[in-house]
Structure 1
């Protein structure tokens, strides 16, 4: 049995990251395809059925959708996710199905059902440290390094891991760090609290752009963590506080995503909320929609294009180190 499953980094770089459709035959007989639909952010697997059949357990899984479709009289079964954090897990599921076919299983759907038996654990591992979270943590540590360079008590200022509304707080300023792999400052805001300063504070959205380093080297998340540990080694209390925040952030040393190198793709930019960009708060929403209507809004996610806004990030703009 010949199988041609693209390597994950090629599939991600050539199709998912570039929002390019794909419908690729992995196994010709029995027919198994992997597909990517950028309009739905869907990544999944499509199986050709020898007769009309049904799933035995997949339909009940959270964030995983299934359907049976008929094209030119041929029945197909699909399993897919539209949750980007699960793309890597679905790819691993396809790998497992292909391995079962290599081992002699001739029924694609049965191979899928067997692979699904372990899928919930696979999903749990994938969600625990998604690529999106690694990229975000990468940006936070870049900003933390800049604050340390300016003499700030940056470890104490890194309050995001302690379930605070923003990533950093120091000298009456709050910093909400947003990191993107896009070639423009396009960031997703998860909830209006991310655009609202805490009482008595001034809020800056700090825009970080990173990219694969090419021949220039770059640094992985594990590299940044190791460098910070060396830097803080002389102060056991501060190092211990850093380790606690790192653990709360979900860092998992040795995770494949933590070994991927990145380099800065543009200077870090600071966008002042309320000056460079509006403060879109719950109070603003209540005024715009009316108080009764806001009770029907369960959540708000925004994608902002912030290219050209703000000023270059300067750590000394947030007070002198001896002000703390």
Structure 2
């Protein structure tokens, strides 16, 4: 595919995504002189720029998402610049487009890359924020953890927080386990990620703690994920290092704090739901009874809506975190 050399066609975000969804490599000639070709490679989640090698190779070693090399193709030397576009397809395309704009003015590729990266540092540093689902989930767990620190002390609270350890349930408290689920939906609809999340451990009562958040905009009562992390850290004296290690295991990086700008507030008071034989949970034990050759089912995820279910009274130390039934 060849684009106009004087005024190249600009691809909008939807079009860029469509090329990645095609599943096959697509090449675009962006410039005839000097020649510049862009290639979208969905299989690798990459965008490549190929241009004749003149001058020094671009210096990109400090950027996680960029690589540059000098190659020989068709008896000619070329510069091959590759952008890791995972999660940022359109931003990667804009970077290539910006570099080509610099080449059009007569700049060397080394200079063109240097100029273009100034406006796209987040992309090139490999900064990747948590998904919205994971961000909400972490906020919910931290709200519970903050409450537990206040009620039980930091050592007990941190030891009970098992979510970062990929255990079956998020919190293992003295008398019961708790699986914390957070949503920004008007309904209490929660994603259950496995057939063990809502399966009680032997001899351990299990509760689903349902938290509803809403975007607070500029309201002063709102909180962001970085703000909640800061509040929890301020409560810790002995366990700060352990807390930070758990955050890192969940994908949190302090250097990415500015990427989390959305402020939330509680839509409703959290509720607790006792997981008993009547609760609509898909569990491993139940699947064993109804699914033929159960061993061949490798993973299960589903959504459960507890809006109209009767909520329960949960014991200390979460009794005053959750709404008590009327």
Q: How does 1:161-310 map to 2 (within 5 A)?
A: 161-217=164-220, 218-233=222-237, 236=238, 238-255=239-256, 256-274=258-276, 277-290=279-292, 292=293, 294-310=294-310
Cα offset for 1:226? 1.4
Richer in helix (by share): 1
TM-score, normalised with respect to structure 1: 0.63
Match of 1:32 in 2: 11
Confirm or deny: 8 A CA contact 2:207 2:274 kept in the other structure. Answer: yes
Confirm or deny: 8 A CA contact 2:209 2:272 kept in the other structure. Answer: yes
Confirm or deny: 8 A CA contact 2:207 2:273 kept in the other structure. Answer: yes
Instruction: Supply the distance in 1 between the matched residues of 2:235 and 2:285 (Cα, whole angstroms).
Output: 42
Q: 1:310 to 1:247 in 2, by over 3 A?
A: farther
Q: 1:96 to 1:304 in 2, by over 3 A?
A: farther
Instruction: Supply the distance in 2 between the matched residues of 1:57 and 1:35 (Cα, whole angstroms).
Output: 14
* Residue in structure 1 matching 2:41, options 58, 66, 72: 58
Cα offset for 1:273? 1.7
Confirm or deny: 8 A CA contact 1:177 1:208 kept in the other structure. Answer: yes
Unaligned 5+ segments in structure 2 are 1-6, 16-20, 30-36, 47-84, 106-112, 321-326
Q: Is 1:99 equivalent to 2:98 in the alignment?
A: yes
Instruction: Supply the distance in 2 between the matched residues of 1:59 and 1:243 (Cα, whole angstroms).
Output: 35
Confirm or deny: 8 A CA contact 1:205 1:272 kept in the other structure. Answer: yes
Instruction: Supply the distance in 2 between the matched residues of 1:254 and 1:289 (Cα, whole angstroms).
Output: 46
Number of matched residues? 248
RMSD over aligned Cα atoms: 4.0
Confirm or deny: 8 A CA contact 2:161 2:170 kept in the other structure. Answer: yes
Cα offset for 1:301? 1.3
Instruction: Supply the distance in 2 between the matched residues of 1:286 and 1:128 (Cα, whole angstroms).
Output: 37
